[in-house]
A and B are shown apart, each in its own frame.
Chain A
């Protein structure tokens, strides 16, 4: 496109620029702005008509004035994709940040991405062992799943994400994951923490990083995860990689979304977030999965910090409605000194049932997991009661459950940052050991045949 430059800006509002009287401009088209001092900014068309065009400016509108030149580039936003993305660090707009050369494109991919046809999906069902008992036993992860970490400020979600990235493996297979890491508005310190760990373990060479930090433009954050997922799709579906996408912090992403909504004077939804936030988030999260006829897969680990530790806040709430479960980090457990402080009760893996059991993990897995949940939930509830009436008022069953809750937290949940427990002999056997603290007649979630086979003291073998 010839690229006529317009100087017809009428209004600037927050991150938005309003222009009038242009040639027809396409919806979603990419825009370049040239400020009077020569600085360039990028944007995208959000609304277009014969009379007016609204552009969202990624780098923010500071210094934009009516003299600013606006050029429409005649195309939607594309990322140059290639295998060469692996091992590279890019900024939040997709430009090299590691001092390396530009990416030599094998293809230019539309970053919005198209929806995977539900008919073409393959059901994810390959168990990924993370070596973390709480996750492997209770919220098992499978390849192609999107499983966010719901955390809050000051909790060790980054350690957990990194431990997963280090330890994740398919039992009985040596296909490795490549990591696509996407930072949205996190601090330089947090970012360095990630990079150093990936470097230390050699994973960095096998990773592509897209980085928008806290002092980078906020609106750019709306683009960054789309770049990361576009790269992930290319690597997974064109080059057969199993990609693990970690993106953090979704809360910053949603704040940027809210900012755009406010600038457009849209009718806000709950707590000021746009009414379309569900759909917008789905356009990211749904870019996980496996598809028929392709070897690769995309597994997503979005990290979000729940404002005010509130799981009903729109950000975790809408995420939980889209993702295939959630791993919830608990401040209470963290304060008790337990790592990883995963509260399994509100945590969930929706794809767990497809990934566990005979031939995958072990035949008793489901039953054991149900029993752990029931016993731990029972024990935790009793803690409240004991605080009021004391242990004397408890019957035998309740006393056992109460004690079990402590043991579960102390011995099952707790493990070190480099402890990699195998699912069967590590995690599940440990669970059986701990369940001996409860009389079998109270273990109503366990099938008799598993008690006969696996119970350390009551088994018939």
Chain B
């Protein structure tokens, strides 16, 4: 005799009832409304990237690589982007780029404040932590279904799925970075009568910036890894190329899409990592940004 012979738990029915019978009828307008800002930003970026000529875009990326990493990376960027253009995937790449930028921006806008809240209160962190654990352990395919039920199909739901998938690292790393700021520095700021905002802005955030940037890099990479999956529910771009190729057993097409994703991933990864490392030298938001505009100058710190 096994437990299932005594009692069957109809968990699938429960979830179906909950989602179909409660969430969808009652909250559909709410979930639909959530898509508006996502769709707005996505369309704006998509239009912008489509508008910028391929050569100008390549030049912009090359300069960014050069500033953040170095000359070799700039060269790789130029060659990689030209290659993408030559295999005929430039437009798809730009669509993917706008999806990723949108996702990462939403992750930052949600994740950094969430991380700040988590760092400020142990209770908040205790509540948030298991949620993040679940978000990271549930396979991404699993929540595509409820997302489709709630949001429908198309690009914005794809972005929302990506945001959910890519959000945990930026929250975790913001929390970690802020909590890791030396206690005596926080004490010093407090002893001079700083408000919590002054402390956050002048001391904690700049000192945690490197860790936060590392979190942003991880988030970016997760967002990239989601493009193929998001294409299953209507996302476009390189993910769609891969999916279509697989669906039609067109190995060549799928490979081309895959190569495009890899090249884009390498470029974005190195640039964002370079940014994070810059953050460790300057450790102030403003000086990182300034350093990005001004020519590169070797760090002058001695131990």
Q: Is B a genuine binding partner of A? A: no
Binding site for A on B (CB under 8 A): none
Binding site for B on A (CB under 8 A): none
